[in-house]
A = this chain, B = another copy of it.
Amino acid sequence: MCKCQPYLPKVQAGVPSDVTAIPKETAQSKDMEVLRSMPLFSSLSQETFDKLADSVRFDRYVKGDTIVRQGEKAQWVIVVLEGYIKLTRTAANGEETLIHIFGRGETIAESVAVLGDNHTTTAEATGPTRIVRMPAHVVAQAARDAPELALAILSESSAKIWALMDEIEALKAQTADQRVLRFLLSLCPPNATNVEARLPYTKGVIAASLGLKQETLSRSFARLKIVGVEIDGRKVLVQDARVLEQEIERLNRFV
């Protein structure tokens, strides 16, 4: 993917495309409930939650918008309300590597913001996205005052560590087809049959998230037709999730 191009973000990092698109109050009252139910907030006392809630800001982005930039000081803790955000790292030569993708309810930069460090990755919207952001210093202070918040943040970080370890395991021990199968399984309810799902982001992004080239993903999808996977644009049909699991197993025998 396009190397060495000068870095020209479409909007300045942290400046949303159209903050004012929806009336603030209506959005907030409903979103506040959603927020309260999210992992980072659900274990907090009402008091701690209110303290944070006072300073939250809702933003909305479109595909390609940069939300935080690698190297910048972390000013905000961000929670995804809707859409998907990809974390990437840009090496000295301009090569961009996708590290991880975050979806609804997941938190970005929570530890780095609380500790006052710099971002080590860039975060970019993969499509229309809504987030909520809280000033780092507010969260940091609240974490000092309320151990429950510090533990909730720790819990988020811990979950992130597991997710990254999963990714490393997949990259080291699984073939392209196995990773694609795992990804497809993540779109299906367990043991379901005749699942109809939608790809959450473009195939290019899916490929990068699985450590593949787009062409390889395309070929993989084609191969997986024989195990009951049909891809049509963004639409996915899986005949039987258990067959996919068996196929992952089967492919292991040959490795």
List the interface of chain A (C-beta within 8 A of B).
87, 89, 91-93, 95, 97-100, 111-112, 114-115, 117, 120-121, 143-145, 147, 150-151, 153-155, 157-158, 160-162, 164-165, 167-169, 171-173, 211, 249, 252-253, 255
Given contacts A89-B169, A172-B97, A173-B91, contact A154 B150 (CB under 8 A): yes
Nearest B residue to A146, CB-CB: B147
Given contacts A147-B143, A150-B150, A171-B171, contact A158 B95 (CB under 8 A): no
27 A-B pairs (CB sep. < 8 Å): A89-B165, A91-B169, A91-B173, A95-B173, A97-B169, A99-B165, A111-B161, A112-B158, A114-B154, A115-B155, A120-B162, A120-B165, A143-B150, A144-B147, A144-B151, A145-B147, A147-B147, A154-B154, A157-B158, A157-B161, A160-B161, A161-B161, A164-B164, A164-B168, A168-B171, A171-B211, A172-B211
Q: 3 closest pairs, A vs B, by CB?
A: A111-B158, A150-B150, A164-B164
A252 to B90, CA, bound (A): 13
CB pair B151–A151 under 8 Å, yes or no, is no
A123 to B168, CA, bound (A): 16
Nearest B residue to A155, CB-CB: B115
Given contacts A89-B165, A165-B120, contact A95 B252 (CB under 8 A): yes
Nearest B residue to A145, CB-CB: B147
A249 to B162, CA, bound (A): 31
A173 to B213, CA, bound (A): 11
CB pair A171–B173 under 8 Å, yes or no, is no
A144 to B161, CA, bound (A): 21
A112 to B168, CA, bound (A): 19
Minimum distance in angstroms from A51 CB to a CB of chain B: 15
CB-defined contacts of A114 to chain B, threshold 8 Å: 151, 154
Query: Of B91, B157, B252, B253, which contacts A157 at CB under 8 A?
Result: B157
Nearest B residue to A96, CB-CB: B173
